[in-house]
Amino acid sequence: MTSTLTPARSSAAPPHRRTRSVRWRGPVIAWLFLAPALVLFLYFKFIPMFVGLWKSLFKVQTFLGDEWVGLQNYQTIISDDEFASAIWHSIVLALGTTVGSIVLGLGLALLIEGPARYLWFVRTAAFLPVVTTMAAVAEVWRIMFHPADSGMLNIIIGWAGIDPQPWLASEDSSLWSIMIMSIWRGTPYDMMIFLAGLVGVDRTLYEAAAVDGASTWRRLRHITLPALRPVFWILFTLAAIRGLRVFVEVYVLTNGGPNGSSEVLMTLIYKLGFQKNELGVASAGGIVLFAATLALTVVVQMLRRRQTT
Amino acid sequence: MSRRLLGTAIIASLAVTLTGCGSGGSSSEDNTLEIWIRQAADSDSAKTAQKLADAFTKASGTPTKVVAIFDDFETKLNQQAAQKQLPDIVINDTAQIGAMQSQGWLQEVDKASLAGGDQVSELAWKAATASDGKIYAAPFSAQAFALFIRKDWREKVGMEPPETWEDLAKLATAFTEKDPDGNGKADTSGFVIPAGTKRGYASWYASSLMYANGGDFIKANGPGKFTATMNDPKTVEAVQYLQDQFCTTKTVNPGAVSNDTTVTHEVFEKGQGGIYLTGPYVLARFVDSIGTDKIEVVPVPKGPSGGPGTLGEGENVYLMAGSQNQEAQKKFAEFAISAEGQRIGMNKDANGAIVRLPVNTQVDMAAERQDPRWKVFQDSYEHAVYAPPVPNWAPIRQDSADSINAVWADCGADVKAKMEELNTKLTQELQSQKAS
Amino acid sequence: MRFDSALGLESRKGPLAIAGKTLIYGLMVVVFTGPLVALLMSSFSKTLDPTSFSLWPDEFTLENFVQAGEKNVYLYLFNSFVVVGFGLLLQMLVSVFAAYALARKKFRGMTFVMLLMLATMMLPEEIIAIPLSLVLADMPLLNLNLIGTYAGMILPVGAWGFSILVMTEFMKEVPVELEEAARIDGAGELRIFATIIVPLCRPALGVIGVFGFTMIWDQYLLPLIVAPASDMWTLPIALRSLRSDEEVGIGVLLAASLLALLPSIIAFLAFQRQFMRGLTSGAVKG
């Protein structure tokens, strides 16, 4: 990587001139280093986003010419019953997945913390779900969720004496089934971040606590968990950013069904935009979703600030 | 030093990739006719489309480029429209006519000036007519739906091919309870149904039985005006009949309510169910995978309150707006409806028939296809019912799929009340499309 | 008493403890890799049931992979590799540069830039798909058409807020003294960047490398928009197309799914030493 920079090195200014120009050079250099990222973001994120924002004010008819409708698209989407239930499903799914992944991730991280070689193997194996392609993984889970007695998960819960479940096929369980898969994929990620956090905990505190005769639980409660606080905030922030936007999982597994019981914001917006040709309304939905995500992230950050001060 | 060289090499090749591969882009500037077909890429159907295009090139001298895409057809088409670069020709479902026409994507077609237009069946022309009464496409392919039944199973349980809805229900029960595959396990179902909501499959499946009972989603009452008829007793009866299969007699394959056709085909092939209502395009596949003597095709039985009827569908050749190549567009449409074009599209008995039933009345199907089961589909087509030419059919199909899926998934649901609710919804939808 | 971990499980050596640990760790491995193993086995299996998996291929066959070849899956795999190869290189370069500015410099507007980066992570891609296609077809000011080019699939993934932010956190950890010492020796900006900061952040490169790979490999809408026809498709698009191809069975789909899964797993295993070190070397200090 260093090699790409060698031609530029010769053009660096000789040292005696730098002292004079240092006051303006700092920021200029910073902006130069930022430039590639900013240019790429401008072209591929911000311009498209503003076009989308603009389109949300129109009845989009790509060939006949767009028709200005003002805020009507927003009114349409917000007053749609399906939109309300999609928001609810998105929140349930996001909350369930986040809490489930964090609790399990923390538990597992505590169990497999340590320098032993076999633990390193367990960590690597457990992390695999995170780096796998969602579309392919969802395909596998769809088969495992098969609702008959012969379905893989039904056989497994059968060993524990539980009756076969309908999983994705029933209104009552479709959202929960999707959540199970999301937790399966989210837990190892959270576990890794927790492991990273656990490394930073001061070992001498454990030893001191042990000398004082504190139980394992008290050690966790008073030393480990407080030390992990920053990790929790990172995970909450990521959850806020990603949570409401789930799409591929739901699209592949149920596409929102049965009876809309697993319809989330993104699948609804996608249907509006591309299957019902309502691009303007879909854009409005997207902007609403963006605003909600932004608000959620800001809330998490505010809570975090209040916590730390 | 060598690492430095490697870095330079990588950057250089990156630069080449970035600038060098720009040739694949727009072909609209030359005289190549771009043809899009809604079929999976690299599928046998896509290959047949390529054959058709090649034959056209040979006959007319116009070069062509075929793009086959299925799942994201609408996404890509919207994208092309936004760029004001629609393909020249689109071969797509007849039901899409309203959506494309209301977007201004289609050119009107003059039936009289289209060579060979008089050889095309009237029912097919109707499916190329939009709600304003004008024709916007050349018909290309037609199909009607019928029942695929496991003949070996039916003989094993000792029953006759079903002729009424009652027969059908009895056969399904026998398939479910009498272990027709003889493996000693209760692992078979009567019906296999793609009853998920994706692309409106649930409503797509239900429609054949609704039509077979004289019901319908909506009915035309004047040019460009429609009324919702989901609360019509005949329609409700059909949906109720299927709910009974799901809930009372439990003769439907497990998980059906979240399945699409891809999964359902597999379920049928693996012998998990014995009655599959679908189109003729899977005949070659099932003959291949299950065995020709184990499959029979039976028309959808007439319902107790009306009929006969079944779902009619098809593909049209749409001439897209904004084309630089209007003369070639018309020539292609003429080629597609000609006897030669139709025969290429039919692809004999093999997989990948993009012309399921020929729309050109001059083509003798029996001469092209050996398998007599095609005849059942052709006979069914005579009383097939197409989706009505509303400005946008997709939301109506989607809304009804959601509601129908709901009463099948939730056995406690009251079909009549739910259909009444759907009727109100469809009425609102028609109003918003200014078609009521 | 010594502690290598919060629970101190390491020091419990009784037979019961060992049995318990084996059970827990075994269960973890099975739960998290089981579905992947099931996929591996099934894709080599001849008679496939669309509703269940076998844990051992009944009738081992390569048939599914041969058929996948007929469906051009290997071409899509190649396209995926091209995009991920160049895309990841670009993304890592861009991230490292941007992070250097954000972590090591103070300038007016820095908070604003950080907010912009966060905002890009919140944008639902499906919404900007159509507008993005317009930008790609006619780049403002540049007058370039990137539709139908690999560049159109590569450049948009070149900047990713997540890896910039991760990298920034890492770079903040590098002690200022090292940088100052080099400055006194007369090293220029690029030299400090290239010879001091970047080498010290090598573990972090493992982290953004693994996540970046998965992110680019998973791209769906972008290549769909950019590819004018199926010959430029990448694997995720092909997966969806295979799923709706009424003529093929589930075996081909599973074979293609496996091909889609393996490269990111291999990439992870290749980078994983650095990745693990990156994660545990203090990125997460809040």
Last residue of a domain, one of B368, B385, B402: B385
pLDDT band at B35 (very low <50, low <70, confident <90, very high): very high
Same domain, B287 and B421: yes
The answer to whether residue A120 sits within a structural domain is: yes
Please report where in the chains the tokens 């029953």 appear, as a residue: B159
Task: Give how far Cα A106 sits from Cα of A220, B49, C31, C251, Å.
Answer: 11, 55, 17, 37
Same domain, B225 and B104: no
Cα(first)–Cα(last) distance of chain A, in Å?
41
The answer to whether residue C4 sits within a structural domain is: no
Same domain, B92 and B214: no
The answer to whether residue B8 sits within a structural domain is: no
Same domain, B298 and B381: no
CA angle A125, A129, A130 (to 5 degrees): 110
Q: Say if residue A13's pLDDT is above 80.
A: no
Q: Which of C96, C246, C250 to mutate to test the interface with B (most CBs of B within 10 A)?
A: C246
The answer to whether residue C9 sits within a structural domain is: no
What is the span of the domain harbouring residue C236? 65-283
Nearest chain C residue to B24 by CA: give it: C148
Is B69 an 8 Å CB contact of chain A?
no
Same domain, C225 and C255: yes
In the stretch 82-121 of chain B, residues with CB closer than 8 A to chain C read: 82-83
Q: Specify the pLDDT at position C51.
A: 63
Share of chain B above pLDDT 90, in %: 50
Going by the DSSP 8-state scheme, the letter that residue A42 receives in this structure is I
Q: Specify the pLDDT at position B108.
A: 92
Residue A82 CA to residue A88 CA, distance in Å, equals 10
Residue A77 CA to residue B313 CA, distance in Å, equals 32
Residue C263 CA to residue C216 CA, distance in Å, equals 12
Alpha helices, DSSP H, located in chain C: 15-43, 63-70, 73-104, 110-122, 125-137, 150-154, 161-173, 176-184, 189-192, 198-200, 202-217, 221-226, 235-244, 250-280
Same domain, C75 and C89: yes
Cβ atoms of A282 and A229 closer than 8 Å: no
Per residue in C247-269, pLDDT (tens digit) is 677 788 889 999 998 888 888 88
Q: Specify the pLDDT at position B261.
A: 85
The answer to whether residue B339 sits within a structural domain is: yes
Our count of domains for chain A comes to 1
Q: Specify the pLDDT at position C49.
A: 65
Is A98 an 8 Å CB contact of chain B?
no
Residue A269 CA to residue A283 CA, distance in Å, equals 8
Our count of domains for chain C comes to 2
Q: Which residues of C211-245 are buried (b: 16+ CB within 10 A; e: fewer)?
A: bbbbbbbbbbbbbbbbbbbbebbbbbbbbbbbbbb
Q: Specify the pLDDT at position A12.
A: 42
Last residue of a domain, one of B362, B385, B408: B385
Same domain, C139 and C278: yes
Which whole number is the average pLDDT over B245-274?
Answer: 88
Q: Say if residue B18's pLDDT is above 80.
A: no
pLDDT band at A101 (very low <50, low <70, confident <90, very high): very high
Which whole number is the average pLDDT over C162-186?
Answer: 86
pLDDT band at B16 (very low <50, low <70, confident <90, very high): very low
- How buried is residue C145: exposed, middle or buried, by Cβ count under 10 Å (0-12/13-18/19+)? middle
The answer to whether residue A10 sits within a structural domain is: no
Please report where in the chains the tokens 């780096």 appear, as a residue: A131
Q: Say if residue C139's pLDDT is above 60.
A: yes
Which whole number is the average pLDDT over A115-134?
Answer: 86
Same domain, B261 and B376: no
The answer to whether residue A79 sits within a structural domain is: yes
Which residue would you say has higher pLDDT here, B358 or B224? Answer: B358
Is B84 an 8 Å CB contact of chain A?
yes
The answer to whether residue A138 sits within a structural domain is: yes
Contacts of A141 in chain C (CB under 8 A): 35
Please spell the DSSP secondary structure of B304-352, one letter per residue.
TTS---EEEEEEEEEEBTT-S-HHHHHHHHHHHHSHHHHHHHHTTTSS-
The answer to whether residue B378 sits within a structural domain is: yes
Same domain, C43 and C159: no
Cβ atoms of B351 and C247 closer than 8 Å: yes
Is C29 an 8 Å CB contact of chain A?
yes
Helix axes B261-269, B283-290, angle to 10 degrees: 30
Is C143 an 8 Å CB contact of chain A?
no
Which residue would you say has higher pLDDT here, C49 or A210? Answer: A210
Per residue in A283-296, pLDDT (tens digit) is 898 899 999 898 98
Q: How far, in whole angstroms, is CA B40 from its chain's centroid?
A: 13
Cβ atoms of B384 and B312 closer than 8 Å: yes
Per residue in B139-173, pLDDT (tens digit) is 999 999 999 999 999 999 999 999 999 999 999 99
In single-letter form, the type of residue at position C124 comes to P
Pairs of CB atoms within 8 A across A/C: 318
Residue B68 CA to residue B337 CA, distance in Å, equals 20
Same domain, C115 and C187: yes
**Interface ipTM:** 0.89
Q: Specify the pLDDT at position B398.
A: 84
Chain-chain contact of B289 with C250 (C-beta, under 8 angstroms): no
Same domain, B138 and B161: no
Residue A128 CA to residue A125 CA, distance in Å, equals 6
Q: Which residues of C251-264 are buried (b: 16+ CB within 10 A; e: fewer)?
A: bbbbbbbbbbbbbb
Kindly report the CATH number assigned to the domain that includes residue B138.
3.40.190.10
Same domain, B268 and B368: no
Instruction: Flag the least confident range among A97-101, A124-128, B7-11.
Output: B7-11
The answer to whether residue A294 sits within a structural domain is: yes
Which whole number is the average pLDDT over A263-291?
Answer: 85
Distance in Å, alpha carbon of B17 to nearest chain C alpha carbon:
7
Kindly report the CATH number assigned to the domain that includes residue A137.
1.10.3720.10
Same domain, C54 and C137: no
Q: Which residues of A189-220 are buried (b: 16+ CB within 10 A; e: fewer)?
A: bbbbbbbbbbebbeeeebeebbeeebebeebb
Which whole number is the average pLDDT over C103-123?
Answer: 87
Q: Say if residue B13's pLDDT is above 80.
A: no
Task: Give how far Cα B171 sits from Cα of B109, B160, B247, B265, Å.
Answer: 47, 9, 16, 20
Same domain, C52 and C109: no
Same domain, B72 and B153: no
Q: Which of C118, C126, C241 to mutate to test the interface with A (most CBs of A within 10 A)?
A: C126
The answer to whether residue C3 sits within a structural domain is: no
Q: Specify the pLDDT at position C281.
A: 62
Residue C9: partners with Cβ closer than 8 Å, 6 or more residues away: A111, A113, A114, C17, C21
Is C33 an 8 Å CB contact of chain A?
yes
Which whole number is the average pLDDT over B381-397?
Answer: 87
Chain-chain contact of B198 with A257 (C-beta, under 8 angstroms): yes
Q: A79: closest CA among A285, A286, A295, A303? A: A285
Per residue in A196-209, pLDDT (tens digit) is 888 878 778 888 88
Share of chain B above pLDDT 70, in %: 93
Which whole number is the average pLDDT over C93-99?
Answer: 94
The answer to whether residue B21 sits within a structural domain is: no
Same domain, B327 and B348: yes
Pairs of CB atoms within 8 A across A/B: 106
The answer to whether residue A85 sits within a structural domain is: yes
The answer to whether residue C241 sits within a structural domain is: yes
Q: Specify the pLDDT at position B150.
A: 95
Residue B297 CA to residue B152 CA, distance in Å, equals 13
What is the span of the domain harbouring residue A157? 68-308
Q: Give the mean pLDDT of chain C.
A: 85
Our count of domains for chain B comes to 2
The answer to whether residue C221 sits within a structural domain is: yes
Same domain, C190 and C55: no
The answer to whether residue B12 sits within a structural domain is: no
The answer to whether residue B3 sits within a structural domain is: no
Chain-chain contact of C159 with A36 (C-beta, under 8 angstroms): yes
Which whole number is the average pLDDT over B347-351?
Answer: 85
Same domain, C172 and C250: yes
Same domain, B303 and B364: no
Per residue in B208-232, pLDDT (tens digit) is 999 999 889 999 888 788 999 999 9
Residue B63 CA to residue B57 CA, distance in Å, equals 5
Same domain, B301 and B344: no
Please spell the DSSP secondary structure of B191-254, one letter per residue.
E------GGGHHHHHHHHHHHHTT--SEEE-STT-EEE-TTSHHHHHHHHHHHHHHHTS--B-T
Which whole number is the average pLDDT over C272-276?
Answer: 80
Same domain, C54 and C111: no
What is the span of the domain harbouring residue B408? 146-310+389-433
Cβ atoms of C189 and C196 closer than 8 Å: no
Please give the torsion angle defined by the CA atoms of residues B186, B187, B191 and B196, in that order, rounded to the nearest 10 degrees.
130
Q: Give the mean pLDDT of chain B.
A: 87
Is A8 an 8 Å CB contact of chain B?
no
What subunits touch chain A, counting only 3 or more CB pairs under 8 A?
B, C
Residue A222 CA to residue A237 CA, distance in Å, equals 24
Which tokens belong to A115?
């320098």
Share of chain C above pLDDT 70, in %: 91
Residue A292: partners with Cβ closer than 8 Å, 6 or more residues away: A244
Chain-chain contact of A255 with B402 (C-beta, under 8 angstroms): no
pLDDT band at B131 (very low <50, low <70, confident <90, very high): confident
pTM score of the predicted model = 0.84
Here the contacts of C172-181 (C-beta below 8 Å, separation 24 or greater) are C172/C103, C173/C282, C173/C283, C173/C285, C174/C104, C174/C200, C174/C201, C179/C104
Q: Say if residue C283's pLDDT is above 50.
A: no
Q: C154: closest CA among C212, C82, C50, C213? A: C82
Task: Give how far Cα B203 sits from Cα of B39, B273, B393, Å.
Answer: 21, 20, 12
Same domain, C211 and C251: yes
Is C106 an 8 Å CB contact of chain A?
yes
Same domain, B203 and B276: yes
Which tokens belong to B309?
């009827």
Last residue of a domain, one of C60, C92, C115: C60
What element of type H or E holds B35? strand B33-37
The answer to whether residue B206 sits within a structural domain is: yes
Same domain, C83 and C222: yes
Q: Specify the pLDDT at position B51.
A: 94
Strands B310-319 and B137-144: antiparallel
